[in-house]
Amino acid sequence: MVAEAQGATLGQLRVWIDSFHTLVAEQKAYLTELDSAIGDADHGINMSRGMNAVAAKLDVSSPSTIGELFKTVGMTLVSTVGGASGPLYGTFFLRIGTSAGDVEELDGSGLGTALQAALDGVLARGKAQVGDKTMIDALTSAVEAFRGAVQGGSSIADAASQAQDAAERGRDSTTPLTARKGRASYLGERSIGHLDPGAVSTALLFTALAKALA
């Protein structure tokens, strides 16, 4: 019997980024369609451009530590993605890199700590809270689920699966909300009934993580 992996390796986390890149490319039109209803109609376009740039950068840089991997991802997104998405996703990955440091593997607790640092960074950068109809609704749910699962003794793979489920619930919770941050907030009650594009892309992020750690 093969023992179940208890940590996330550099290779697996690189697969996370690659899988997110693929999902964003596949959902580019859908993300842009969602954003056309309540935003600037560019979320899918911006995220796809950014993740294409990330993939190109990683192909030539080959980071040797987890910290280096995520700092490269974060800086690339900040420099290539327009609107709010670049700074927010960039901050997310930069904080993971800083928290992880120069290691080649993170156990469940270490990855949970890094995800919490990333969430804290996005909260500080975007000034949004749960219920504001933003990516925070999906991100907070996912990070809390991951950390809770790890603390409860779940494997890192199961924790990632629970985080994916929680991110999707957080995503879906944005539909009945009135937007209170960003361009969507200008619509007031007309934003009700629409999924938040950032919450949708965040759910894709945790779908990719669950796939990479399965």
Q: Where are the domains of the chain?
A: 7-213
**129/149 Cα distance (integer angstroms):** 23
Residue whose C-alpha is closest to residue 128's, from 186, 85, 182: 182
The predicted pLDDT at position 82 comes to 75
DSSP 8-state symbol, 127: -
> pTM for the whole thing?
0.93
Position 35 scores a pLDDT of: 87
Taking a C-beta distance cutoff of 8 angstroms, is the pair 77, 54 a contact? yes
pLDDT for 1 equals: 27
Residue 91 φ then ψ, to 5°: -60, -40
Contact of 46 with 31, CB cutoff 8 Å? no
pLDDT of amino acid 2 = 32
Q: What is the largest CA-CA distance in the chain?
A: 57
State which fold the 7-213 domain adopts: 1.25.40
In the chain, which residues have pLDDT < 70?
Answer: 1-5, 180-191
Task: Indicate the DSSP class of residue 214.
Answer: -
pLDDT in tens, 146-186: 999 999 999 999 999 999 999 999 999 999 877 766 656 54
Q: Which amino acid is at 128?
A: A
Q: What is the pLDDT of residue 4?
A: 41
Which 8-state DSSP code applies to residue 102? Answer: S
Asked if 206 contacts 167 with a C-beta cutoff of 8 angstroms, the reply is yes
- Report how far residue 116's alpha carbon sits from residue 46's, in angstroms, rounded to the nearest whole number: 25
